[in-house]
Amino acid sequence: MMEKGLMDKGSVEGQVTEDLMRDTLKTREMWLNMGPQHPSTHGVLRLILALEGERIVDTEIVIGYLHRGMEKLAEAKTYPQFLPYTDRLDYISSHAMNFGYVLAVEKLMGIEVPERAQYIRVMMAELTRISSHLIWLATHALDIGAMTVFLYCFREREMILDLFEMACGARLTTSYFRIGGVAHDLPDGFIEQAREFCKIFPKKAQDYDDLILKNRIWLSRTVNVAKISGEEGLNLGLTGPNIRGSGVYWDIRKDEPYSNYDKLDWEIAVEHGCDVYARYLVRLKEMRESCKIVSQCLDILEKLDGPVMAKVPKVIKPPEGEVYASVEAPKGELGFYIVSDGSPKPYRLKIRAPSFANLISVPTMVRGHMVADVIAVIGSIDVVLGEVDR
């Protein structure tokens, strides 16, 4: 399945030569700076790599280049005012970010959201997951050298963005969710267009598989690269598709079902490979499962009428207390911890960003690998720097 040599890292001969080199030639570590402006870091992420030859012995990650002080800003905004800021966390999956925030505020206030709004939310969140994973697949494949996948994925993502534009007028920073429901009902023709997407998407997903699933270059760049066991991953804070790629059955949508996920029929995508390839398989399966969820939601929404907004006071003043609510965002567990002092502004708001936590394990993953593998690893854990730096 794989060429020997390229991935042959732990061989005895290799170790002996390495030891010889160190003793006789007096080699020393080289420090290589990667980023913050590097096309494969997907934003402004800086890695300082300590190298022995081309092998990585240590990594330091420097973040904060996109820090906007969101948590401090939240303390000066009322609850509804902060909602658009959440779009800018993980800016390619803004519905999911909105979802986490509104759930936290609703939990704090004890608001019951109408059924129809629940299904619209779930559908939007799942469309977001597909579009986020499409971007991930596109850029990840591009980093590794597969150009065609990039074009294919962006073509389908465009269809999803068109749907978003139809529903709320914006393509990226949507702010469609509201505390207590969604901004307004779906427009005419939305369901038909979304159905069209659900119909063609499985075929398109098959196209991606045909391109790279068994591609020899793809396999040699991803299989057995950056292995991390489930236990170690949990210890290092991995969540979402990354931890499911290490064989851990943990999906917040199933384990602590929020909104209407428990009423829908779908499966958790889990792989046991623990490597970059396994994470790729998990995301591909997740896209298909999300497509299933979207079509179920469409079936229900067609028949289900009703309000899309709960009765929410004009001035949102939650009672004193603190809550933590989390959702399964495309990157992992997104949590909002809100401390309320009874005023219309949050006293403290903490965002548990999945990409931030997922980055912690990068030094462990890349240790002993080649410089070129770093790009595959960063791609595979799917970081968005807007969320890392907040």
The reply on whether position 352 binds another protein by CB under 8 A is yes
Which one, 106 or 275, has the nearer CB to another protein? 106
End-to-end CA gap in the chain: 42
Which one, 164 or 258, has the nearer CB to another protein? 258
- Which residue among 216, 299, 360, 368 contacts another protein (CB under 8 A)? 360
Which one, 99 or 250, has the nearer CB to another protein? 250
| Smallest separation, CB 79 to another protein (Å) | 15
Q: Residues 126-155: x/- map of binding to another protein (CB under 8 A)? A: ------------------------------
Stretch that binds another protein, among 128-136, 179-187, 221-229, 353-361 (CB under 8 A): 353-361
SS3 string of the chain?
Answer: CCCCCCCCCCCHHHHHHHHHHHHHHCCCCEEEEECCECHHHCCECEEEEEEECCEEEEEEEECCCCCCCHHHHHCCCCHHHHHHHHHCCCCCCHHHHHHHHHHHHHHHHCCCCCHHHHHHHHHHHHHHHHHHHHHHHHHHHHHHCCHHHHHHHHHHHHHHHHHHHHHHCCCCCCCCEECCEECCCCCCCHHHHHHHHHHHHHHHHHHHHHHHHCCHHHHHHHCCCCCCCHHHHHHCCCCCHHHHCCCCCCCHHHHCCCCCHHHCCCCCCCCCCCCHHHHHHHHHHHHHHHHHHHHHHHHHHHHCCCCCECCCCCCCCCCCEEEEEEEEECCEEEEEEEEECCCCCCCEEEEECHHHHHHCCHHHHHCCCEHHHHHHHHHHHCCCHHHHHC
Binding residue count for another protein, defined by CB under 8 A: 44
| Smallest separation, CB 337 to another protein (Å) | 6
- Which residue among 123, 359, 365, 376 contacts another protein (CB under 8 A)? 359
| Smallest separation, CB 374 to another protein (Å) | 18
| Smallest separation, CB 183 to another protein (Å) | 14
Which one, 302 or 322, has the nearer CB to another protein? 322
- Which residue among 269, 357, 365, 384 contacts another protein (CB under 8 A)? 357
- Length of the chain equals 390
| Residues 217-276 interacting with another protein (rule: CB under 8 A) | 231, 234-237, 248, 250, 255-256
Beta bridge partners of 370: 55
The reply on whether position 309 binds another protein by CB under 8 A is no
- Which residue among 339, 367, 371, 372 contacts another protein (CB under 8 A)? 339
Tokens 């401390």 -> residue: 339
Q: Residues 276-295: x/- map of binding to another protein (CB under 8 A)? A: --------------------
Dihedral angle computed from the Cα positions of residues 60, 68, 351 and 363, in that order, rounded to the nearest 10 degrees: -10
- Which residue among 28, 203, 303, 314 contacts another protein (CB under 8 A)? 314
Beta bridge partners of 321: 340
- Which residue among 14, 169, 187, 321 contacts another protein (CB under 8 A)? 321
Which one, 148 or 249, has the nearer CB to another protein? 249
| Residues 62-121 interacting with another protein (rule: CB under 8 A) | 63-64, 67, 69, 71-72, 76, 107-111
On the CB side of 92, how many CA atoms lie within 13 Å of its CA? 21
- Which residue among 301, 356, 374, 385 contacts another protein (CB under 8 A)? 356
| Smallest separation, CB 386 to another protein (Å) | 13
Q: Which residues bind another protein (CB under 8 A)?
A: 63-64, 67, 69, 71-72, 76, 107-111, 231, 234-237, 248, 250, 255-256, 313-315, 319, 321-324, 326, 333, 335, 337, 339, 347-348, 350, 352, 356-357, 359-360, 389-390
